[in-house]
Amino acid sequence: MKKLIGLSLLCFGLMATAQTKNDPKQLKFANIDVSPLDMVYYPLDAATGKNVTPIMKVTYSRPSSKGRAIFGNLVKYNEVWRFGANENTELKVFKPIKIDGKEIPAGCYSIYAIPGETEWTVIINKTTDVWGAYAYNTANDLVRVKVPATKLTSPMEYFSISFVKTDDGANMVAGWDTAQVSLPIQF
């Protein structure tokens, strides 16, 4: 009996596979992205659904180093960078925040950066839904903040963003390869 059930399941599986391969209605989906999309909320537990109201959310793609030299090479120093991969990184603000003393109203914005060896300029820009930094326009900048770049002792394979609580808000911390920056945000 067990052999009969096993043989039946095997035949059914082969028929289903054959139908999928030969079905002209079967949609061919895109391959998995090498820089997967991710998001991080502040507060961090806002994503858990535990009745925590989010203040902000960052949606970004996470490129990996793959043994490459990143800053100063793949990502050029002193040039605008999309702050991740693929589409530009977006910051959604659910209530007003302040960055470098400038009020940022609730809304959706893009984040760009100009990396340097010891200091980065982090940019909050009004343009969203664009791919990369190719359509970046300084006229749409809300705020530009210079922040120190910290050298990490061990490299990070994937570009990552998180938030760290502070007395008057949170720091958005981003790191990749051997560089890390922290953008102070007040609310």
pLDDT tens digits, one per residue of 92-143 = 999 999 999 999 999 999 999 999 999 999 999 999 999 988 889 999 999 9
Query: pTM higher than 0.75 for the full model?
Result: yes
Among 172, 68, 89, smallest CA distance to 133 is for 89
**Average pLDDT of the chain to the nearest whole number:** 89
Residues 61 and 84: their CA atoms lie apart, in Å, by 5
Among 10, 117, 110, smallest CA distance to 60 is for 110
Residues 89 and 124: their CA atoms lie apart, in Å, by 10
β-bridge pairing 56-61 and 85-93: antiparallel
Residues of the chain short of pLDDT 50, as ranges, are 1-2, 4-20
Residue pair 183/144 in contact (Cβ under 8 Å)? The answer is: no
Please report the pLDDT score of residue 90 as a whole number.
97
DSSP string for residues in 168-184: TEEEEEEEEEEEEEEEE
Collapsed DSSP state (helix, strand, coil) of residue 78? coil
Cα angle 88, 90, 91; round to 5:
155
Residue 48 one-letter amino acid: T
**Which helix or strand (DSSP H or E) is residue 38 part of?**
strand 37-42
Residue pair 123/114 in contact (Cβ under 8 Å)? The answer is: yes
Among 104, 67, 111, 70, smallest CA distance to 87 is for 111
The DSSP code for 163 is E
Structural domain boundaries of the chain?
28-186
b/e map of 161-185 (b: 16 or more CB within 10 Å)? bebeeeeebbbbbbbbbbbbbbbbb
Please report the pLDDT score of residue 15 as a whole number.
47
